[in-house]
Amino acid sequence: MTTPTPLHPDARDRLYAECARAITEAGTERESLFLARLALLLFEQVGDEARCRAALADALHALPVPSLSAV
């Protein structure tokens, strides 16, 4: 198994912004469904259940509580 190449910071910023726009477009009623579907599509691209489970755990670890200042 090869280690994936990390995204360039500029690419990461562009993808973050595009993801945020897509979440907004999905709307609050479909936000969770959109994110779950996106995760499943990306899991298919990764193709390794253990790495996908590790990514889920990493994403959940130290997840910040939203604050009004972040709005």
Question: What is the 8-class DSSP label of residue 5?
Answer: P
pTM surpassing 0.85? no
Q: Give me the residue label for tokens 């009623």.
A: 29
- pLDDT of 31 > 70? The answer is yes
- pLDDT of 38 > 80? The answer is yes
For residues 12-19, average pLDDT: 96
For residues 25-51, average pLDDT: 96
26 CB burial (10 A radius; 0-12, 13-18, 19+): middle
Give residue 3's pLDDT: 75
